[in-house]
Amino acid sequence: MSPDASPPRDPLDADLDLLAGRKEAWGALALEERAACFEAALERIPAAAPEWVRRLEEIQGLEPGSPWSGELWLSGPVATARGFRLLAASLRQAGRPALPGPRPAPGGRTAVRVFPAQAWDRFLLPGVRAEVWLPPGMPIEQGPAGGPPRLGLVLGAGNISAIPPTDLMTRMAVDHQVCVLKLNPVQESLRPVFEEVLEPLIRDGFLRITGGGPETGRRLTDDPRIEAIHLTGSDRTHDAIVWGADSDEQARRKAEGRPRPEVAGKILTSELGCVTPVIVAPGRWTRAELAAQAASVAGMVTHNAHHNCNAAQVLVLPAGWQQAGIFLDALREALRRAPPRRAWYPGARERHRALLEDHPGAELLGAADPPWALIPDLPPRPGERLYREEAFCGVLGVTRLPAPDALSFLLAAADFCNEVLWGTLSCMLLVDPRTERRLGPGLDEVLARLRYGGVAVNAWAGLLFGLMSPSWGAWPGHSLADIGSGIGVVHNTFLLRGPEKSVLRAPFRLRPKALWRPDHRTLDRLGPALLTFECRPSWRRGLRLLGPALRA
C-alpha cells in the first residue's frame, strides 16, 4: 500500500453508514410501498425454500427426508411466508385492516378476533379461534407505531428459522426501522438464503445481514449509529447487553438504574423464553381423547428437539384426577414411539445432564439422543431448577395441585404458574368440552388470570406463533432491570396497539391431526404444499392440502 493510499474500509462500518443514510427514505415510503417490498420478498421464498430446508437439516444433523424434516418447512419458509403476506395485506389497508369482531372480556378487557379472518382460515384449521386481548379499559387502536425512522439492530434467534425474518418484518414495517440483521452463529449458514429472499430490501439500502460471534454482536449493540435493538434469545444475553457482562457490574448498575452508556437511550425490545406450563383440567376423557392429548403434549416436547421458547416444560395435573395415571402412561408411550432425534442446540446436553443429576429418578424414554426425560413427581413449591430455568433439552416435569373442583384447580394452577414458574411468554391449557361447559364463564376468568403473553387452549402455543396474526411476546410490564420474558411484541399483523396477550382456543381433538404431533406421517408433503398456499392462497391450492392432511 502506498503511503497516500487509504486503508480498505470495514464492510460493517460501511453498511452502518449506508443504513443511517437511508432511514429517512424508508420513513418516507408510503405503507403501500413498504407492502410491495415484503410482497417482493414473499415471491422469492418458494425458490429459496428447498435450500433453506436443506441447510436446516445440516444444522440439525438430520438425514434428507427425515421424519422431522417437515417441521423445518413449517417453522421456516411457511411461517415466514404467512407473516410477510398478512403484514403486507395490512399495510395495503393503511395499517388498519378490518377486524373480524371484538367482544368484551373479563376485567374490562376487549378481545379482538384475529383468526379466522378469511373463509379459508376455517378450512385450514377447523374450529380454531385466536384473539388479541387488550388491557382493561384500552380502546381498540391500529396502525404502525409513531415516532421517527431509526436504524435498528435485530439479533436473530438460533433455534427457529422463521424468527429472524419475522422479527425483522415487525421492526421494519411497524417501527419504521432500517435494520442490520445479525444472525446467531447457529444459523449463520442460512445467510445466503436470507439474502436471496430479502434482496428487495437489501437492494434499496434498507437492510443488511451479517454473521459473526459475540464480538460482532457487542460491536453492533454499542455502535452509536444503532438506535434500537431487538433480541430473541436469553435473559442472560439481554442483561449482558444492557448491564454488562460481569455479574458484579450488572448488580451495581441495576441497583443504580444505570445501563451501560453504550446502550443507554436506545429502544430495547426482546423475547426471552419461558418455563412453559401445560395445565390439565380434571375431567372424564374418552380413550381416544387421552391418546390424542398425550400425543399432542409429546409434540410440545419433541418439536425441534425441545429447542423452543414455548416447549412444554412443566405439566400441572390435578391431584386426585382419576385418569392421571392413564394419561401419563399414554404420554410415555407417545415419547417412546417418537422418531429418533438428537439434541443439536449448543448447551442442551449439559443442561440435560444437570437436570438429571438433580433428579436421578427421572424416566428416560424413546430413541432421542439424549433420551426424552420425564420427572413424574415435582413438589409444587419454589426452588426447583426446572421451575426457574428454561430447559431447552427434552425434559418435562410433572407436578400436582390439590383442589375440590375444576374451577378451583384452574385458578390455583394459574396462581402457581404466575408465582412459581419463571417467565411470562406462553402457556397451554387442556380442557375437555364437558368440563368447559360446566366451567361456563369461569374459563375466561382463568384465561384473564394467567399472566402470559400467549395462552393456548387445547393446542400448543407454537400455533399462536405460527399464525402470525396474534401478538407474540411476553406479558406486559417487565422492565430492563427485571426483564423476565422480554418487552414488546412481534407479528400482530392486524397492528393492534398495546396488546396484553393473545388467546387461542382449539377443539379438544384437532382434525386433521395436529401438525406438531411426533406421529404425524405426512409433514414432508404438507410443508411444500402449505408454502405454495401461503404465498398465494386459493381454494384450488387449499384442496391440494386435503390428501396429505387426511393421511397424517
Comparing 3 with 506, the larger pLDDT belongs to 506
Confidence of residue 210 (pLDDT cuts 50, 70, 90): very high
**Distance from C-alpha of 426 to C-alpha of 548, rounded to nearest angstrom:** 30
Q: Are strands 228-232 and 454-457 parallel, antiparallel or unpaired?
A: unpaired
Which residue's C-alpha cell is 390435578?
318
CB-hemisphere CA count at 13 Å for 306?
A: 33
Q: What is the DSSP letter of 535?
A: H
Instruction: Give the amino acid at 265.
Output: G
Q: What per-residue confidence (pLDDT) applies to 8?
A: 67
Question: Does 5 have pLDDT greater than 60?
Answer: no
**Distance from C-alpha of 130 to C-alpha of 252, rounded to nearest angstrom:** 43
Contact 171, 228 (CB under 8 A): yes
Contact 124, 549 (CB under 8 A): no
- Full-prediction pTM beyond 0.85? yes
**Phi then psi dihedrals of residue 132, to 5 deg:** -100, 125
**Distance from C-alpha of 453 to C-alpha of 173, rounded to nearest angstrom:** 22
- The mean pLDDT of 387-400, rounded to a whole number, is 98
**Distance from C-alpha of 432 to C-alpha of 507, rounded to nearest angstrom:** 9
pLDDT (tens digit per residue) in 65-109: 888 999 999 999 999 999 999 999 999 999 999 998 899 999 999
Q: What is the DSSP letter of 347?
A: T
Residue 100: CB atoms within 10 Å: 17
Confidence of residue 550 (pLDDT cuts 50, 70, 90): confident
Residue 51: CB atoms within 10 Å: 13
**286 is written with which cell numbers?**
374418552
pLDDT (tens digit per residue) in 421-457: 999 999 999 999 999 999 999 999 999 999 999 999 9
Closest by Cα among 9, 11, 10, 22 to 202: 22
| CA end-to-end distance (rounded Å), the chain | 65
Which residue's C-alpha cell is 411468554?
425
Torsion angle defined by CA atoms of residues 24, 28, 32 and 36, in that order, rounded to the nearest 10 degrees: -30
Give the angle 283-289-294 at the CA atoms, nearest 5°: 95
Q: What per-residue confidence (pLDDT) applies to 9?
A: 75
Confidence of residue 222 (pLDDT cuts 50, 70, 90): very high
pLDDT (tens digit per residue) in 404-427: 999 999 999 999 999 999 999 999
Quickly list DSSP for 459-521: S-THHHHHHSSSEEEPPTT--SSS-TT-SSEEE-TT-BSS--EEEEE--SS-SS--TT-TT-S
Domains of the chain: 12-93+142-233+235-271 (3.40.605.10), 276-505 (3.40.309.10)
Question: Does 146 have pLDDT greater than 90?
Answer: no
**145 is written with which cell numbers?**
407505531
Q: What is the number of helices (H) and of strands (E) in the chain?
A: 22, 18
CB-hemisphere CA count at 13 Å for 249?
A: 11
Contact 484, 309 (CB under 8 A): no
Contact residues for 435 (Cβ-Cβ < 8 A; gap 6+): 281, 282, 283, 406
For the chain, the residue count is: 552
Helix/strand/coil for 518: coil
The per-residue pLDDT of the chain, averaged, comes to: 96
Contact 409, 282 (CB under 8 A): yes
Contact residues for 541 (Cβ-Cβ < 8 A; gap 6+): 529, 532, 533
Confidence of residue 552 (pLDDT cuts 50, 70, 90): confident
pLDDT (tens digit per residue) in 285-339: 999 999 999 999 999 999 999 999 999 999 999 999 999 999 999 999 999 999 9
Contact 202, 40 (CB under 8 A): no
- The mean pLDDT of 140-167, rounded to a whole number, is 97
**Distance from C-alpha of 169 to C-alpha of 114, rounded to nearest angstrom:** 18
% residues pLDDT > 90 (the chain): 95
